[in-house]
Amino acid sequence: MELFLLGLTVLTGCAVGWSIGANDAANSLGVAVGSKVLTLRQALFLICVFGFLGAYFQGSHVVRTVGKGIVPISDLEGNMPVYVAMVSSIAAFVWVLIATALKMPISTSHSIVGAVAGAGLAIGAPVCWRKLVDVFICWVVTPLGAAVIAYVLYFILKHTFHRVVPDRIAGRVLALLIVLSGCYVAFTWGANDVANAVGVIAGSGRLSVRMSLVLGSAAILLGVVTWGYKVIETIGSNIVQMLPLMAFSAQLASSINVHVYTMMGVPVSTSHSIVGAVVGVGLVRGVRVVNMSIMREIVVCWVATPFVSGVLSFLMLKILTLMPGVR
C-alpha cells in the first residue's frame, strides 16, 4: 500500500512539474521571442537545457524550504507525509493547469506553498507561520525589486549602449546579450522552481533530494516542450511591446533577482520577477506603453493563487482523512 501511495505521489509531483514547465517556460525567453530575437523552437530548446542545469545543480536550496520549512512533513506519523505531499501536489497542479489554459503567468511557488499550508491545517500539523510571513514578504518584494533593477538597467543602457557599441554590430551584440541573459533566467528558474514540483516529495523522506531533483527536472522539461508556448505569447508581447534592448534589461534584471532568493532558499515567483522586470523597462518609455488591462488580470490571479490552492488542498485532505484506513 505504501509503495502504491509513493508511486501516486511521485506521479502527482511530476504532474506539477509538467504544469510548471507549461506555465513558466515564458519566464525565461518569452521576451526574446516577443522581440523576435529567437524563434519559439530555439527558445524552447535553450529553456530545456539551462532549466535542467539550474534545477540539478542549485535546486536543493529551495527544495529543503518547500519540503520542511512550511510544514515538517517528514515528522508526521504513518503515511501522512505521503498523503500531504500527494494532496498538495494535486491542488497546486489543478490551479496551475487552469491558469495556463487562461494564458495567465501565475506563480507555481505560491500555488505549492499555499497547498502545503492548507494540507497542514487540515490535519492540525504545525505550520511555521513565521516562515510563511517571510516568504510572503519576499513574494511582495520580488516584482518590485525586479522592476526597479530593470528600470535602472534599461535607463542606463538606453542612453549609453549605442554610444559605446558601433551601429554596424549593435544588432548582433544585442541578440547575443538577449540569448545569454535568457539562458541565465532559465538557469535560475530551474534552480528555484523545481522545488515546487518535488519539494514535498523530498520533504516526506521517501525519496532523496537528488533523485527528486532529477524527476522534477524531467517533468518540467516535458511541460516546456508540450505546452510551453501558451504563456510565451502573454509575456512576450501582450504586456509591453518589447524592443531588443528592453528584452535584455528585463531578462538580466529578473535573473539577478531570482538568483539572490534562490541562494537564500526562498521559493519566489519567476513569473512575478519577469513580469515586474517587463513593467520596469516599459516604465522607462512611459506608463502608457504598459497594458494595464492585462496587468490587472495577472495581479488578480497572483493574489488568488495561494488561497485557491490552499483551500483545494485543505478540502481534499479533510475528505481523505474521513475515509477508513487512512492514517
pLDDT digits (tens, 9 = 90+) for 81-133: 888 988 998 998 888 778 777 766 677 788 888 999 999 999 998 888 888 88
CA distance 257 to 223: 24
User: Is pLDDT larger for residue 121 or for residue 295?
Assistant: 121
The percent of residues above 90 in pLDDT, for the chain, comes to 25
pLDDT of amino acid 166: 93
266 dihedral zone (left: phi>0; alpha: psi -120 to 50; beta): beta
Residues 6 or more apart in contact with residue 98 via CB below 8 angstroms: none
User: Is pLDDT larger for residue 34 or for residue 14?
Assistant: 14
Confidence of residue 319 (pLDDT cuts 50, 70, 90): very high
Question: Is the pLDDT reported for residue 237 higher than 60?
Answer: no
pLDDT of amino acid 114: 92
Question: Is the pLDDT reported for residue 235 higher than 60?
Answer: no
pLDDT of amino acid 102: 74
pLDDT of amino acid 205: 78
User: Is pLDDT larger for residue 122 or for residue 64?
Assistant: 122
Confidence of residue 287 (pLDDT cuts 50, 70, 90): low
Confidence of residue 153 (pLDDT cuts 50, 70, 90): very high
265 dihedral zone (left: phi>0; alpha: psi -120 to 50; beta): left
pLDDT of amino acid 323: 83
Question: Across all residues in the chain, what is the average pLDDT?
Answer: 84
Confidence of residue 26 (pLDDT cuts 50, 70, 90): low
CA distance 277 to 152: 10
Question: Is the pLDDT reported for residue 250 higher than 60?
Answer: yes
pTM of the entire structure?
A: 0.81
249 to 52, 61, 258, 282: CA distances (angstroms): 23, 26, 14, 11
- R_g over Cα of the chain: 19
CA distance 252 to 183: 10
Residue-wise pLDDT tens digits, 177-231: 988 998 998 999 889 888 777 888 888 877 888 888 888 888 988 888 887 766 6
User: Is pLDDT larger for residue 46 or for residue 207?
Assistant: 46
Question: Is the pLDDT reported for residue 145 higher than 70?
Answer: yes
